[in-house]
Protein backbone atom coordinates (compact mmCIF):
# COMPACT_ATOMS: atom_id res chain seq x y z
CA UNK A 1 0.00 0.00 0.00
CA UNK A 2 1.38 3.38 -1.03
CA UNK A 3 -0.30 6.50 0.30
CA UNK A 4 -0.36 9.42 -2.16
CA UNK A 5 1.51 12.47 -0.86
CA UNK A 6 -1.69 14.53 -0.73
CA UNK A 7 -3.71 11.95 1.22
CA UNK A 8 -3.62 10.82 4.82
CA UNK A 9 -3.70 7.17 5.88
CA UNK A 10 -6.46 6.25 8.32
CA UNK A 11 -4.96 4.82 11.49
CA UNK A 12 -6.10 3.07 14.64
CA UNK A 13 -4.07 2.67 17.84
CA UNK A 14 -5.12 -0.06 20.24
CA UNK A 15 -3.55 0.25 23.68
CA UNK A 16 -3.20 4.00 23.64
CA UNK A 17 -3.21 4.53 27.41
CA UNK A 18 0.01 2.68 28.16
CA UNK A 19 3.40 4.37 28.35
CA UNK A 20 4.28 3.48 24.75
CA UNK A 21 0.75 4.19 23.50
CA UNK A 22 0.91 7.74 24.81
CA UNK A 23 4.26 8.34 23.11
CA UNK A 24 2.90 6.90 19.90
CA UNK A 25 -0.14 9.19 19.95
CA UNK A 26 2.11 12.22 20.38
CA UNK A 27 4.12 11.23 17.31
CA UNK A 28 0.98 10.51 15.28
CA UNK A 29 -0.51 13.89 16.15
CA UNK A 30 2.54 15.69 14.81
CA UNK A 31 3.02 13.45 11.79
CA UNK A 32 0.71 15.08 9.25
CA UNK A 33 0.23 11.93 7.18
CA UNK A 34 -2.12 10.03 9.47
CA UNK A 35 -5.83 10.45 10.08
CA UNK A 36 -6.22 9.03 13.60
CA UNK A 37 -9.69 7.49 13.49
CA UNK A 38 -9.42 5.17 16.47
CA UNK A 39 -7.56 5.45 19.78
CA UNK A 40 -8.65 2.95 22.39
CA UNK A 41 -7.43 1.12 25.46
CA UNK A 42 -7.85 -2.62 25.72
CA UNK A 43 -10.07 -1.79 28.72
CA UNK A 44 -12.49 0.42 26.76
CA UNK A 45 -14.82 -2.44 25.93
CA UNK A 46 -14.34 -2.41 22.15
CA UNK A 47 -13.99 -5.93 20.82
CA UNK A 48 -11.58 -6.93 18.08
CA UNK A 49 -14.59 -7.15 15.75
CA UNK A 50 -15.60 -3.57 16.62
CA UNK A 51 -12.10 -2.34 15.86
CA UNK A 52 -11.81 -4.32 12.63
CA UNK A 53 -15.16 -2.95 11.44
CA UNK A 54 -13.52 0.47 11.05
CA UNK A 55 -11.61 -0.97 8.04
CA UNK A 56 -8.72 1.44 8.45
CA UNK A 57 -5.56 1.64 6.34
CA UNK A 58 -3.32 0.77 9.28
CA UNK A 59 -3.43 -0.35 12.89
CA UNK A 60 -0.86 -0.32 15.67
CA UNK A 61 -1.29 -2.87 18.45
CA UNK A 62 0.22 -1.66 21.72
CA UNK A 63 -1.36 -4.38 23.86
CA UNK A 64 0.31 -6.77 26.33
CA UNK A 65 2.10 -9.84 25.01
CA UNK A 66 -0.32 -12.63 24.18
CA UNK A 67 -3.25 -10.38 23.31
CA UNK A 68 -2.61 -9.49 19.66
CA UNK A 69 -3.93 -12.56 17.85
CA UNK A 70 -7.64 -11.79 18.20
CA UNK A 71 -7.13 -8.28 16.79
CA UNK A 72 -4.98 -9.53 13.92
CA UNK A 73 -7.50 -12.19 12.96
CA UNK A 74 -10.43 -9.76 12.99
CA UNK A 75 -8.62 -6.96 11.14
CA UNK A 76 -7.26 -9.29 8.48
CA UNK A 77 -10.72 -10.75 7.86
CA UNK A 78 -12.34 -7.31 7.58
CA UNK A 79 -9.61 -5.63 5.52
CA UNK A 80 -6.89 -7.96 4.21
CA UNK A 81 -4.74 -5.13 2.85
CA UNK A 82 -4.54 -3.22 6.15
CA UNK A 83 -1.08 -2.64 7.59
CA UNK A 84 -0.69 -4.00 11.12
CA UNK A 85 2.28 -3.12 13.33
CA UNK A 86 2.40 -5.20 16.50
CA UNK A 87 4.45 -3.66 19.31
CA UNK A 88 4.30 -6.83 21.39
CA UNK A 89 6.34 -10.00 21.08
CA UNK A 90 3.59 -12.22 19.67
CA UNK A 91 4.83 -12.25 16.07
CA UNK A 92 8.56 -11.61 16.38
CA UNK A 93 9.24 -15.31 15.85
CA UNK A 94 6.71 -15.76 13.03
CA UNK A 95 8.19 -16.02 9.54
CA UNK A 96 4.93 -14.80 8.03
CA UNK A 97 5.56 -11.40 9.61
CA UNK A 98 8.29 -8.93 8.68
CA UNK A 99 10.61 -8.04 11.54
CA UNK A 100 10.56 -4.25 11.78
CA UNK A 101 14.17 -3.22 12.33
CA UNK A 102 14.73 -0.55 9.64
CA UNK A 103 18.53 -0.31 9.72
CA UNK A 104 18.83 -4.01 8.91
CA UNK A 105 15.59 -4.84 7.06
CA UNK A 106 14.40 -1.62 5.44
CA UNK A 107 13.75 -3.18 2.03
CA UNK A 108 11.57 -5.95 3.48
CA UNK A 109 9.54 -3.53 5.61
CA UNK A 110 8.70 -1.31 2.64
CA UNK A 111 5.20 -2.27 1.53
CA UNK A 112 4.79 -5.00 4.16
CA UNK A 113 1.34 -5.68 5.63
CA UNK A 114 2.23 -7.38 8.92
CA UNK A 115 5.21 -5.99 10.86
CA UNK A 116 6.50 -7.21 14.21
CA UNK A 117 8.07 -4.25 16.03
CA UNK A 118 11.33 -5.29 17.76
CA UNK A 119 11.80 -5.15 21.51
CA UNK A 120 13.67 -2.22 23.02
CA UNK A 121 16.57 -4.24 24.44
CA UNK A 122 16.65 -6.27 21.22
CA UNK A 123 16.93 -3.14 19.08
CA UNK A 124 19.85 -1.70 21.03
CA UNK A 125 21.64 -5.04 21.31
CA UNK A 126 21.24 -5.92 17.63
CA UNK A 127 22.58 -2.60 16.45
CA UNK A 128 25.52 -2.83 18.85
CA UNK A 129 26.36 -6.38 17.74
CA UNK A 130 25.49 -6.39 14.06
CA UNK A 131 28.80 -5.01 12.71
CA UNK A 132 30.74 -7.69 14.62
CA UNK A 133 28.77 -10.88 13.99
CA UNK A 134 31.10 -12.24 11.32
CA UNK A 135 34.09 -11.87 13.66
CA UNK A 136 32.71 -13.59 16.75
CA UNK A 137 34.29 -16.47 18.60
CA UNK A 138 31.48 -17.87 20.72
CA UNK A 139 28.38 -16.18 22.15
CA UNK A 140 28.61 -12.49 23.09
CA UNK A 141 27.33 -11.31 26.47
CA UNK A 142 25.05 -8.33 27.02
CA UNK A 143 24.52 -6.72 30.44
CA UNK A 144 21.38 -4.61 30.28
CA UNK A 145 19.83 -2.06 32.62
CA UNK A 146 16.36 -0.60 32.02
CA UNK A 147 14.27 2.10 33.58
CA UNK A 148 11.14 0.81 35.26
CA UNK A 149 8.79 2.06 32.54
CA UNK A 150 9.93 -1.03 30.65
CA UNK A 151 7.92 -3.12 33.12
CA UNK A 152 4.68 -1.42 32.07
CA UNK A 153 1.89 -0.10 34.26
CA UNK A 154 0.72 -3.36 35.85
CA UNK A 155 2.15 -3.41 39.41
CA UNK A 156 5.09 -5.75 39.90
CA UNK A 157 8.43 -5.76 41.75
CA UNK A 158 10.03 -4.43 38.54
CA UNK A 159 8.13 -1.13 38.78
CA UNK A 160 7.69 -0.91 42.55
CA UNK A 161 9.52 2.19 43.87
CA UNK A 162 10.02 0.54 47.26
CA UNK A 163 11.78 -2.44 45.69
CA UNK A 164 13.85 -0.35 43.28
CA UNK A 165 14.96 2.40 45.67
CA UNK A 166 18.77 2.43 45.88
CA UNK A 167 18.71 -0.89 44.10
CA UNK A 168 19.38 -2.80 40.89
CA UNK A 169 16.96 -5.68 40.29
CA UNK A 170 18.11 -8.63 38.13
CA UNK A 171 15.46 -10.76 36.45
CA UNK A 172 15.01 -13.42 33.72
CA UNK A 173 18.74 -14.06 33.59
CA UNK A 174 18.45 -16.96 31.14
CA UNK A 175 16.18 -17.39 28.11
CA UNK A 176 14.83 -13.84 28.25
CA UNK A 177 12.62 -13.20 25.20
CA UNK A 178 14.97 -10.48 23.94
CA UNK A 179 17.90 -12.89 24.22
CA UNK A 180 16.04 -15.30 21.95
CA UNK A 181 14.95 -12.47 19.67
CA UNK A 182 18.48 -11.19 19.07
CA UNK A 183 19.83 -14.72 18.61
CA UNK A 184 17.19 -15.42 15.97
CA UNK A 185 17.77 -12.18 14.09
CA UNK A 186 21.58 -12.19 14.07
CA UNK A 187 22.07 -15.93 13.80
CA UNK A 188 24.35 -16.19 16.82
CA UNK A 189 23.74 -17.29 20.39
CA UNK A 190 23.62 -14.49 22.97
CA UNK A 191 23.92 -14.41 26.75
CA UNK A 192 21.72 -11.57 28.03
CA UNK A 193 21.42 -10.38 31.64
CA UNK A 194 18.67 -7.77 32.17
CA UNK A 195 18.22 -5.56 35.25
CA UNK A 196 15.79 -2.85 36.32
CA UNK A 197 17.01 0.41 37.90
CA UNK A 198 15.08 3.14 39.79
CA UNK A 199 15.04 5.63 36.89
CA UNK A 200 11.90 5.84 34.71
CA UNK A 201 12.97 5.61 31.06
CA UNK A 202 15.97 4.61 28.96
CA UNK A 203 18.10 1.49 28.74
CA UNK A 204 21.79 0.79 28.44
CA UNK A 205 23.39 -2.41 27.17
CA UNK A 206 27.07 -3.24 27.61
CA UNK A 207 28.05 -5.86 25.04
CA UNK A 208 31.19 -7.97 25.42
CA UNK A 209 32.52 -10.08 22.53
CA UNK A 210 35.44 -12.38 21.78
CA UNK A 211 37.05 -12.45 18.32
CA UNK A 212 38.31 -15.51 16.41
CA UNK A 213 41.31 -13.47 15.28
CA UNK A 214 43.00 -10.40 16.70
CA UNK A 215 41.71 -7.00 15.54
CA UNK A 216 42.92 -3.52 16.36
CA UNK A 217 40.62 -0.74 17.57
CA UNK A 218 40.78 1.36 14.37
CA UNK A 219 39.61 -1.59 12.28
CA UNK A 220 36.62 -2.28 14.55
CA UNK A 221 35.82 1.43 14.72
CA UNK A 222 35.77 1.47 10.91
CA UNK A 223 33.16 -1.30 10.88
CA UNK A 224 30.82 0.80 13.00
CA UNK A 225 31.40 3.88 10.86
CA UNK A 226 30.68 1.92 7.70
CA UNK A 227 27.50 0.47 9.20
CA UNK A 228 26.05 3.66 10.69
CA UNK A 229 27.50 6.84 9.23
CA UNK A 230 24.60 6.97 6.77
CA UNK A 231 21.97 6.01 9.36
CA UNK A 232 20.40 9.14 10.89
CA UNK A 233 18.76 7.25 13.75
CA UNK A 234 22.00 5.66 14.96
CA UNK A 235 24.53 8.01 16.56
CA UNK A 236 27.96 6.45 16.87
CA UNK A 237 30.61 8.23 18.94
CA UNK A 238 33.88 7.67 20.75
CA UNK A 239 32.38 8.40 24.15
CA UNK A 240 30.27 5.90 26.05
CA UNK A 241 26.60 6.95 25.76
CA UNK A 242 24.71 7.70 28.98
CA UNK A 243 21.12 6.85 29.88
CA UNK A 244 20.36 10.37 31.05
CA UNK A 245 21.27 11.70 27.60
CA UNK A 246 19.01 9.32 25.65
CA UNK A 247 15.79 9.98 27.60
CA UNK A 248 13.24 11.63 25.32
CA UNK A 249 15.37 11.05 22.21
CA UNK A 250 14.46 9.01 19.14
CA UNK A 251 17.80 7.55 18.08
CA UNK A 252 20.06 4.75 19.30
CA UNK A 253 23.42 5.88 20.69
CA UNK A 254 26.39 3.53 20.34
CA UNK A 255 29.86 4.23 21.68
CA UNK A 256 32.54 3.56 24.24
CA UNK A 257 34.13 0.99 21.94
CA UNK A 258 37.25 -0.55 23.43
CA UNK A 259 39.46 -3.41 22.26
CA UNK A 260 41.82 -5.39 24.49
CA UNK A 261 45.58 -5.16 24.03
CA UNK A 262 45.71 -8.62 22.47
CA UNK A 263 42.93 -7.70 20.03
CA UNK A 264 40.82 -10.72 20.98
CA UNK A 265 38.13 -8.97 23.05
CA UNK A 266 35.97 -5.89 22.55
CA UNK A 267 33.27 -4.05 24.50
CA UNK A 268 30.72 -1.60 23.13
CA UNK A 269 27.77 0.20 24.70
CA UNK A 270 24.35 1.07 23.29
CA UNK A 271 21.61 3.21 24.83
CA UNK A 272 18.04 3.80 23.70
CA UNK A 273 14.85 5.33 25.05
CA UNK A 274 12.75 2.21 25.53
CA UNK A 275 9.48 4.10 24.94
CA UNK A 276 10.63 5.96 21.80
CA UNK A 277 13.53 4.55 19.79
CA UNK A 278 12.83 1.13 21.27
CA UNK A 279 9.09 1.21 20.57
CA UNK A 280 6.95 4.17 19.40
CA UNK A 281 9.51 5.85 17.12
CA UNK A 282 10.38 2.57 15.45
CA UNK A 283 6.67 1.82 14.99
CA UNK A 284 6.17 5.12 13.15
CA UNK A 285 9.18 4.44 10.94
CA UNK A 286 7.72 1.02 10.12
CA UNK A 287 4.32 2.52 9.33
CA UNK A 288 5.97 5.08 7.06
CA UNK A 289 7.89 2.41 5.15
CA UNK A 290 4.87 0.13 4.86
CA UNK A 291 2.63 2.95 3.58
CA UNK A 292 5.13 4.37 1.11
CA UNK A 293 5.92 7.53 3.08
CA UNK A 294 9.39 8.89 3.86
CA UNK A 295 10.82 6.73 6.63
CA UNK A 296 11.53 9.58 9.04
CA UNK A 297 8.32 11.53 8.47
CA UNK A 298 6.97 12.66 11.84
CA UNK A 299 10.20 11.84 13.72
CA UNK A 300 11.76 14.91 15.38
CA UNK A 301 15.32 15.46 14.18
CA UNK A 302 16.54 17.97 16.73
CA UNK A 303 19.75 16.19 17.64
CA UNK A 304 22.70 16.20 15.25
CA UNK A 305 24.47 12.85 14.75
CA UNK A 306 27.56 12.46 16.88
CA UNK A 307 29.85 10.97 14.22
CA UNK A 308 32.09 14.05 14.31
CA UNK A 309 32.99 13.29 17.92
CA UNK A 310 35.03 10.28 16.78
CA UNK A 311 37.31 12.27 14.48
Of 63, 82, 120, 186, which one is the catalytic site residue? 120
Q: How many CB atoms lie within 10 A of CB 95?
A: 7
Determine the straight-line distance between the first and last CA of the chain, rounded to whole angstroms. 42
What is the helix (H) or strand (E) element at residue 82, kind and residue range?
Answer: none
Q: Known catalytic residue: 120?
A: yes
Active site residues: 120
Amino acid sequence: MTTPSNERASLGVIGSRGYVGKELLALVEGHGGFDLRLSVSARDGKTPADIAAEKLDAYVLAVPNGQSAAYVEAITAARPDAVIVDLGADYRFDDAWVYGQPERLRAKIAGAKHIANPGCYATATQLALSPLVSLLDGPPSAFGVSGYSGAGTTPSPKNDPAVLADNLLPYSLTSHIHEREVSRQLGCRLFFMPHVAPFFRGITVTVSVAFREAHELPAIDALYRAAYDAEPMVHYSKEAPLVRDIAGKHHVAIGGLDVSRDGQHAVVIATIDNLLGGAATQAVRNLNLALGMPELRGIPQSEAPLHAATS
